[in-house]
Amino acid sequence: MINKKLLIIAAACVLLSACGQNAAQTPHQSATQTHEAKTPPSSPPAKTENSNPSGKNETGSSESSTSGQSQPTDSKQEVSKPPAVKYHMNKAYNIVPNEEGTESKVVLLTFDDGPKKKEWINSIIDVLDKHHAKAIFFVNGYRVKENPDLLKLIHDRGQPIGNHSWDHISLKSEPLAKVTKQIVDVQNIVKEVTGASPVFFRPPFGEGGEVGRKVAREHRLLYMTWSNGSLDWTLKSKDKATNPDKVIKNVLDQLHPGANILMHELPWTVEALDTLLTKLEEKGYHFVDPASISVEPAAGG
């Protein structure tokens, strides 16, 4: 009888011990499972394609970090690389591809005699940005000295700057010392204001002479005039209502692949620009980035 009671007590103790172990393990297992659910897996492999490289949703606003995808933590932005050199300028001042297969139906946009007015500059660059275009702004030193903030505006908005001499005088008959000063002083003031010196030189009136070519070459400047003149500088304020159409017609009448288009910071050119660039695009033309043009002169040029 006593042995039977002892057996019953022993069995009860074994059952109680087993229940106690289960009760102790259950909270630990539950916490572990909860932690595993909250801990993200290791970072997935980087995607080879990005169907939305802008990082914006269809409404145009930046995507929220709650989208379910991990967001980059590196605050450094990618530095865009300069475009490859794909073009050169020939002796006729046209822009020509270096290799077959490179787009040849291109034009180079340029603006001379600035910087003049903030509103004109901003309007021009707004249109350039709209059409994803770059243009060389050929500046005069005396104007930069008067309005260095306007030169900085052009630079800060990402447009290249060219050298158009200090005083906008014809250089073809001037002595070496004077031509050198006219060019070098612009190089210096542009670098002082923007931190970079121009790599393109256009002589006023297209008159640089052999001395102008020599000085430009010595300072590693690509010497150019133009191959398509808008004739905007010949138009008069009294005809301002019709001047924009004249600017457009003048450019389109001379249009050809590689055209080096000369324009100025003038009110009718500013007004004509958006329509002009639209018409050029409709004709299948692209706007060459000046940074993709070799600054070495054409053979024999």
The catalytic site residues sit at 112, 264
Crossing angle of the two packed helices 148-156 and 118-130, in degrees rounded to 10: 10
What are 183's two structure tokens? Answer: 């060019």
- Measured in degrees and rounded to the nearest 5, phi and psi for residue 259 equal -60, 135
How many angstroms separate the most distant Cα atoms in the chain? 136
Taking a C-beta distance cutoff of 8 angstroms, is the pair 161, 186 a contact? Answer: no
Placement of tokens 């100025």 in the chain: 264
Question: Residue 62 gets which letter from DSSP?
Answer: B
Residues 6 or more apart from 8 whose CB is under 8 A from it?
A: none
What CA–CA distances, in Å, run from 291 to 86, 141, 247, 260, 288?
9, 22, 26, 14, 9
Return the closest-CA partner of residue 226 out of 241, 207, 213: 207
b/e burial code for range 100-121 (CB count within 10 A of at least 16 → b): eeeeeebbbbbbbbbbbeeebb
Beta strands in the chain (DSSP E): 87-89, 95-97, 106-114, 135-139, 161-163, 200-201, 222-223, 228-229, 259-264, 286-287
What CA–CA distances, in Å, run from 287 to 3, 23, 188, 274, 276?
105, 76, 29, 13, 12
Taking a C-beta distance cutoff of 8 angstroms, is the pair 262, 203 a contact? Answer: no
